[in-house]
Structures are given as C-alpha cells and as structure tokens.
Amino acid sequence: MGQMAEKTSQLQTQPAPVKLVNLTPHEVVVYDASGNLVLKVPPSGRVARVATKEERVGTINGVPVYRTTYTEVEGLPEPEPGTVYIVSLLVLQALQARRVQRSDVVAPNTSPTPNGAVRDAQGRIVGVRSFVVL
C-alpha cells in the first residue's frame, strides 16, 4: 500500500502541464464526468508493446490453440523529466509483473466504472475519463 501511495504521489506532484506521449496506436480521448472533451492525445508514431512467445498446445474443433507467454516490454523510452507515457494496460501489467517501477507510465482507464470508459450507442469505447497506474 505504501508503495502505491508513493507512486501516486509522484504522479500528483509532477509539474503541470506535463508532456504526454501516446505510445499506443490509437488516439487517446479524455472526457470529464459531465461528458465534456478534456483532451486528445494523438499517437506519437512509436508504440510500446509486450513481446510474446507462443506454444501450440492443441486444437478445438480444428482451430489451433496456443499458450502465449508475455516477455519483455519493447518501445518504452527511458524516463524524461516532465513527461508521462501513455501505454496499453497490457504494457502496464507487464511492467508490474517484471517488478519495473515507473511513475511516468499510465494507461487509459477502460474499466466499466464511472471513472473508466466512455462508450458510444453501439458499445464501442470512444474515450476514457481517467488514466490508471499499477
């Protein structure tokens, strides 16, 4: 708990505004609780990803089934003062699993909570209301 509080306080004490670098292939759109557009962060052209290894473990009704193992995080720059990197939740979780502590990395909050995803009439995510850290 203390470690999470420390990470969170580091994010809160970053000088405002910070430079946001979107390391996903999608525009990140943020709305406030009233549905007003707060910000749009276009893709930077660089993508942070998690490398994978696949092992075939069988088939189901003729469809191959693979066990995927997630390995190294690729494409995440070194920390830079005043910069926060936006990555996918999978990248954030891979960093946590490898015990990498980065207070400068966030992911869009796509959870189905009041602080999470904003969806259109067809249920597609069109934005988020917040970022998450792990």
Is residue 6 predicted with pLDDT exceeding 70? no
Nearest to 23 by CA among 55, 53, 47, 50: 47
Is residue 8 predicted with pLDDT exceeding 70? no
CB-CB contact of 91 with 73 (8 Å): yes
Mean pLDDT over the full length of the chain: 90
Segment 95-108, tens digit of pLDDT: 999 999 999 999 99
Task: Return the pLDDT at 134.
Answer: 82
Is residue 13 predicted with pLDDT exceeding 90? no
Task: Return the pLDDT at 17.
Answer: 82
| 3-state DSSP assignment of residue 113 | coil
Q: pTM for the full model?
A: 0.81
Handedness of CA 55, 56, 57, 61 (dihedral sign): positive
In the structure encoding, which two tokens stand for residue 3, read together?
Answer: 């470690």
In the structure encoding, which two tokens stand for residue 20, read together?
Answer: 């946001």
- Could you tell me whether strands 105-108 and 83-86 are parallel, antiparallel, or unpaired per DSSP bridges? parallel
Nearest to 23 by CA among 94, 82, 103, 107: 107
Across residues 101-118, what is the average pLDDT?
95
In the structure encoding, which two tokens stand for residue 58, read together?
Answer: 């069988």
